[in-house]
A and B are shown apart, each in its own frame.
Chain A
Amino acid sequence: MRRQFNLLLILGFVLILSGCGATQTKEDDKTPVTAEGVEAGTEGEAINEGAGMALSLDDPTSPLSQRVIYFEFDSSTIQSEYQDVLAAHASYLADNPDTSIVLEGHADERGSREYNIALGERRAQGVQQLLTLQGVTEKQIQVISFGEERPVAMGHDESAWSLNRRVEILYSGQ
């Protein structure tokens, strides 16, 4: 992925600069461009990588900032709208094998308390499965279900219940 990007960057520079000074030799064009391109590319990558860990997780515009997956009533099916978000988390975790998460499973207050704990777990396990299929290792994920015990919304109607049927992705140290 990174090598392709480097090549594109270099190619891009080459194309731009070859369009500008027609009298310049290819050697002249290439060497500084290549050096610049490579260096710029490497530096840029290095900067992104080092600060990238903190940047990506804290970046409110990044899909990684979405940490809650919501569910339909009685269901543990992950809706398609969350595929991209989960892919982003999977990618991040696969790239950072020392980072681990807790997946907290929850359910709304209706029905039986213990069944809801099992339902919360099944929701979290579904998210876990999607992540491990995309390269996250088992030991990076812990699943804990709270059932209906930790609601975020206290009401007794669908507007509250829909907010409580969720899986939360909790990064360690966050």
Chain B
Amino acid sequence: MIAELKKSIIIGFCLLFSANSFATLTIDITQGVEGALPIAIVPFAWTGKEQLPEDVTSIIRSDLQRSGRFAPIPDEDLISRPHDGKQVNFTDWRALNVDNLVIGKVELLKNNEYRIQFQLFDVIKATQLTGYSIKTSKKGLRRTAHRVSDIIYEALMGVRGAFDTRIAYVTVRKLRNEQKIYNLAIADADGANEKIIFKSVQPVLSPTWSPDGRHIAYVAYSRGRPELYLQNIHTRRTKRISSYQGLNNAPAWSPNGKYLALTLSKDGNSEIYILDIEANKLSRVTKNYAIDTEPTWLPNGRGLIFTSDRGGGPQLYRVAIRGRKVNGQVTRLTYKGSYNARASVSPDGKKVAMVHRADGQFHIAVMDLPTEHFTILTESGLDESPSFAPNGSMVIYATAYNDRGILAAVSVDGRTKQRLSFKDGDVREPAWSPFKTK
């Protein structure tokens, strides 16, 4: 029963997705949660004459499906098509074995604006859980649909949704003459609206988002060696911000938006520094003959976790920071196995995702900081670059599948898994954006 349900989810999903011509990225759920919440989503009524520019209902349905926590009822099984609370007969819906029902409508307003109205019901209790009426421009239709998904998700899961977010990533394509093209791109978390913000024939890597979501810092080998760049993704204005001799790598934006932690080797070997972006001032964090790299901030801005092989092989270490200065000793964080690297900290500061080697295979693992509980989340063996969703529910990462580089996402409890693959080329280096600030 559940296997059939999962199968129909995947098929249904692909059909829905092919209707969306924007996406170069396709998302397949490879493992759904058993006991995913059955939910009825009735196609929103549309009162306009022309075709609705965005299929709002299918965006919401795809979002909820993609979280792995919901099992939307197929359209053909819907017993009726209400779009107003008064039209709902709860007894009928109870017979379908759904706990929740979503109905709504989209209207075209006089000034070329749209209004999306929706209501979420608890079918058993016959009560409305939440409902909103949101005005938006044509351009904002997709975003508003994602916001509706977020509201529904939070109402039922008790956790903020992460559907109205974006991802940054790097794609690599090989031309016929064997030359590679690297594209740094950003897209909505469902893969729509891909925008290429930087193109190069030389390697590009390590994108990191500013906390306000307006800038991305990244490493590019445009001049033949690694240098750090900072781009305003709206104005496209780009600045080279670190070009020391040796490495200018592994940037990580501080939660207060003022600093970039980064890796430089100008003083002999790879060490971690903090750059005050405005003032262009550097402070040094590590002083060790070992490799120190891949810094990432604690969400309160009061510490860094980084990769160091000072203990013989790569492991994660932590150091307290105040402002941009070191405020304590470096202490070791990971002891499981001989290789732990590339930390990503959850937004509540309680979990650290990392690349962990076990039996020669590289997996994504999560360590719970308070309990030190350690879980390996993936079965694939060439995983890298984990990045937490801003609601802490999922980790996106890069991996290999059928000899291609793809992205994948796994829920923090390991129960939900997805594959995100591109039409052509390899994709890698994902970075999940912060929540959007209004």
Using CB atoms and an 8 Å cutoff, list the residues of chain A in contact with chain B: 74, 109-115, 117-119, 121-122, 125, 143-146, 149-150, 156
Residue contact B294 to A112, C-beta cutoff 8 Å:
yes
| B226: Cβ under 8 A from any A Cβ | yes
A-B contact pairs, 20 of them (CB 8 A): A74-B313, A112-B307, A112-B341, A113-B384, A113-B428, A115-B294, A115-B307, A115-B314, A115-B341, A115-B342, A117-B247, A117-B249, A118-B247, A119-B291, A144-B224, A144-B225, A144-B226, A150-B203, A156-B400, A156-B403
Per the bound structure, the CA–CA distance linking A111 and B385 in Å amounts to 9
Contacts A112-B355, A146-B203 given; indicate if A121 touches B342 (C-beta within 8 A). no
Surface stretch bound by A, among B13-21, B72-80, B158-166, B262-270: B262-270
**B429 at the A/B interface (Cβ < 8 Å)?**
yes
B388: Cβ under 8 A from any A Cβ: no
Alpha-carbon distance between A156 and B341 when the two chains are bound, in angstroms: 20
Whether B429 and A113, one on each chain, are in contact in the complex, defined by CB atoms closer than 8 angstroms, is yes
B residues near A (Cβ < 8 Å) are: 203, 205-206, 221, 224-226, 246-247, 249-250, 263, 265, 269-270, 291, 293-294, 307, 309, 313-314, 339, 341-342, 355, 357, 362, 382, 384-385, 400, 403, 428-429
For the complex, give the distance between the alpha carbons of A59 and B226 in Å: 33
Question: Are A156 and B382 also in contact (CB < 8 A) when A111-B339, A122-B269 are?
Answer: yes
Question: Chain B interface secondary structure, helix, strand, loop or mixed?
Answer: strand
A75 to B247, CA, bound (A): 19
Does A110 contact B362, Cβ atoms closer than 8 Å?
yes
B294 touches A109 (CB 8 A): no
Write the chain B residue with the least CB distance to A125.
B269
4 additional A-B pairs beyond A121-B247, A145-B226, beta carbons within 8 Å, are A112-B385, A118-B270, A119-B291, A143-B246
B154 to A: closest C-beta gap in Å: 34
The answer on a CB contact under 8 Å between A109 and B342 is no
Q: Does A111 lie within 8 Å of B294, measured CB to CB? A: no
- Of chain A, the residue at the smallest CB distance from B224 is A144
Residue among B225, B269, B357 with max Cβ neighbours from chain A (10 Å): B225
A-side contacts of B203, CB under 8 Å: 146, 149-150
A145 to B224: give the CA distance in the assembly, Å. 10
C-alpha gap A146/B249 in the complex (Å): 11
Are B206 and A114 in contact (CB-based, < 8 A)?
Answer: yes
